[in-house]
Amino acid sequence: MQNVESISYRRTDLAVEAEIDRENAKGVHFDEYERDSVPVSVMTVDEGDGERAAGRPAGTYVTVTAKKPWLWDDDRRDNLVTLLSDLISDAVTSSSGEKIRPDLPILICGLGNRAMTADAVGPKTADGVTVTSQLAEERRDLYDALGCCRVSATAPGVAAATGIDAADVVRGITETIRPAVIILIDALAARSCSRLASTIQIADSGISPGSGIGNRRRALTKASLGTPVVTVGVPTIVDSSTLVYDALEAGGVSLGSDADELRRVLEEGRSFFVTPNDSDVVTEEMARLISDALNRMCGTD
């Protein structure tokens, strides 16, 4: 008998949702802690055995759980901004070997389609970033007095709108300005609805845009760009097929001979993506949260 647990058609970009035998997985290490009452989960994936067990590239994946932080009071939200700033700074150091310091050149890229609400977290975050590269060229005295990073920001758009793959745009900019690190912000797919607007993932391993929705684009990694890459992602959608599988699993349903038929029905264009009914608020507020954290990290807040 084949039960629902044997079905692997579950789309997610989140490391914390990876189906891993935590007790026996080789090369995958886990840690959990709280800071200012905010839960933080860390999964470290080693090369080789770890990559095979986790099904994702080697690196450190940090998950911060903060449900609807735009409803928090100012002090609690400010603590969250500082936490995210510190975690992104740690990822910059682990990926590039560079500590955040004045004049460190950083390129911030907001991936996604700003015309689609659920995919606009990246571009809207880039809009909220304070850029300083031009100031370093035009007003060096003022720039030096600020003591901030040399920040550039871009939102390369999507190939469907521009005809140019985001990886090519980012590579071209990188070759021109030569940043020490690239920070990518993107909307992610989650497996669980409870993760929507509640989770922020920070990783030092790069990203394959669209992989969580089965529309994988060229990877944006240190290997492909020649520059260390940090990614910050927020889950904004859940695949309907994943919801069906997980609902059946939660209900203890054994599909038996019907498993293949269910898979066929769900994979033949009948699945769709679910996003929160307040997705416009989610996108705006999570983008503002991440841009605030980036500005604080770079010394421009």
Position 6 confidence tier, pLDDT thresholds 50, 70, 90:
very low
Tell how strand 229-239 and strand 199-203 pair up: antiparallel
Beta bridge partners of 37: none
Count the domains in the chain: 1
Q: Which DSSP category does 252 fall into?
A: T
C-alpha distances (whole Å) from 124 to each of 112, 174, 186, 187, 257 are 9, 21, 10, 11, 46
Q: Is 256:94 a contact under the CB 8 Å cutoff? A: no
Q: What are phi and psi of 195, to 5 degrees?
A: -85, -20
Position 248 confidence tier, pLDDT thresholds 50, 70, 90:
confident
Residues 297, 300: Cα–Cα separation, whole Å: 8
3-class secondary-structure state, position 4: helix
For the record, the structure tokens of 187 come out as: 């909307």
The residue that leads in pLDDT, 218 or 26, is 26
Q: What are phi and psi of 233, to 5 degrees?
A: -130, 150
For the record, the structure tokens of 126 come out as: 């880039």
Q: Is 85:157 a contact under the CB 8 Å cutoff? A: no
For the record, the structure tokens of 115 come out as: 């015309």
Q: Which domain holds residue 27?
A: 4-298
Query: For residue 176, with 0-12 CB atoms within 10 Å meaning exposed, 13-18 middle and 19 or more buried, which class applies?
Result: exposed
Position 263 confidence tier, pLDDT thresholds 50, 70, 90:
low
Across 99-103, 207-211, 237-241, least confident range: 207-211
Average pLDDT over residues 16-37: 90
Work out the angle at residue 200's Cα, subtended by the Cα atoms of residues 186 and 87, and round it to the nearest 5 degrees: 105
Residues 301, 296: Cα–Cα separation, whole Å: 5
Neighbours of 31 (CB within 10 A): 11
User: In this predicted structure, what is the pLDDT of residue 59?
Assistant: 93
Q: Is the pLDDT of residue 163 over 60?
A: yes
Position 94 confidence tier, pLDDT thresholds 50, 70, 90:
very high
Position 275 confidence tier, pLDDT thresholds 50, 70, 90:
confident
Q: Is the pLDDT of residue 75 over 50?
A: yes
Q: What are phi and psi of 268, to 5 degrees?
A: -100, 50
User: In this predicted structure, what is the pLDDT of residue 3?
Assistant: 35
The CATH number of the domain holding residue 64 is 3.40.50.1450
For the record, the structure tokens of 49 come out as: 């055995």
Q: Is the pLDDT of residue 7 over 50?
A: no
Average pLDDT over residues 178-191: 94
Beta bridge partners of 152: 107
